[in-house]
């Protein structure tokens, strides 16, 4: 059962520095790290891509609830804050932030006390579409000689969860990682019914 989101949340960790930031990252994309207690830590981690990115810079409420639920199960949750100005623009720019988030967590795994080989992506609705698009069609391979240490690791998730959303793989899509799909049945009045996994 999800707990109510708190008004208190962790400080955001910026994904781009002045030296690495592209022109369309003016909204300061970041992750809000929700870390489990040391005694419960399994080393697993999930980057949560919410439906929307709040224009006031705070983490998405649903993302907070999911992150805390993951914490209760020994998994670190990182809520992505992508540039809110991009929500109505080309999805490729949001995908860039998703990729950067995955690479950042993997590159800084030791600091967050997570395993670089156990990092997943989770998206809800539009966020699920962004997660699927990223994993299927736009994952970045590691560049060992890159100047930016974050670019030296892959953005490919080790697993992913798509909740109420997805996109079809492209013709040249990579083989997806282990994937959890969550949808809902439709009732007679067109409303959402019970969830299925």
- Hey, where are the domains in the chain? 15-170+177-184
Q: Bigger pLDDT: 187 or 49?
A: 49
What per-residue confidence (pLDDT) applies to 167? 78
pLDDT of residue 150: 95
Judged against a pLDDT cut of 80, whether residue 27 lies above it is answered with: no
Q: What is the mean pLDDT of residues 165-190?
A: 74
Per-residue pLDDT at 20 exceeds 80: no
Percent of the chain with pLDDT over 90: 44
When the pLDDT of each residue in the chain is averaged and rounded to a whole number, the result is 82
pLDDT of residue 28: 79
Task: List the structure tokens of 104.
Answer: 């950042």
**Averaged pLDDT, 185-193:** 51
**Can you give the pLDDT at residue 18?**
63
Quick one: three-class SS letters along 67-110? HHHHHHCCCEEEEEECCHHHCCCCHHHHHHHHHHHHHHHHHCHH
CA 130 to chain centre: 9
Determine the average pLDDT of the residues in 23-49. 87
55 confidence band (pLDDT: 50, 70, 90): low
Cα–Cα distances in angstroms (integers) from residue 47 to residues 65, 154, 171, 190, 192, in the given order: 13, 14, 26, 31, 26
Return the CATH superfamily for domain 15-170+177-184.
Answer: Alpha/Beta hydrolase fold, catalytic domain (3.40.50.1820)
pLDDT of residue 196: 45
Q: What is the pLDDT of residue 21?
A: 57
Most confident of 34-48, 74-88, 89-103, 132-146: 34-48
Torsion angle defined by CA atoms of residues 165, 45, 69 and 64, in that order, rounded to the nearest 10 degrees? -70
Q: Give the tens place of pLDDT for each residue, 92-150.
A: 678 889 999 999 999 999 999 999 999 999 998 888 888 998 898 888 999 999 999 99
Is residue 85 very low, low, confident or very high in pLDDT (cuts 50, 70, 90)? low
What's the confidence (pLDDT) of residue 176? 83
């Amino acid at each position: 059962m999800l707990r109510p989101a708190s008004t208190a949340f962790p400080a955001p960790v910026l994904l781009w520095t002045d030296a690495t930031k592209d022109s369309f990252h003016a909204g300061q994309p970041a992750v809000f790290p929700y870390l489990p207690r040391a005694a419960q830590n399994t080393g697993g981690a999930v980057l949560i891509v919410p439906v929307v990115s709040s224009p006031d810079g705070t983490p998405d409420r649903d993302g907070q609830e999911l992150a805390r639920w993951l914490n209760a199960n020994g998994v670190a949750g990182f809520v992505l804050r992508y540039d809110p100005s991009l929500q109505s623009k080309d999805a490729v720019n949001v995908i860039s932030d998703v990729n950067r988030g995955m690479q950042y967590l993997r590159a800084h795994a030791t600091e967050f006390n997570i395993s670089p080989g156990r990092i997943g992506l989770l998206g809800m609705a539009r966020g699920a579409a962004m997660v699927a698009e990223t994993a299927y069609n736009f994952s970045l391979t590691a560049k060992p000689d890159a100047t930016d240490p974050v670019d030296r690791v892959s953005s490919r998730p080790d697993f992913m969860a798509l909740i109420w959303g997805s996109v079809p793989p492209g013709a040249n899509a990579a083989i997806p990682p282990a994937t959890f799909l969550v949808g809902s049945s439709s009732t007679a009045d067109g409303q959402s019914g019970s969830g299925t996994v």
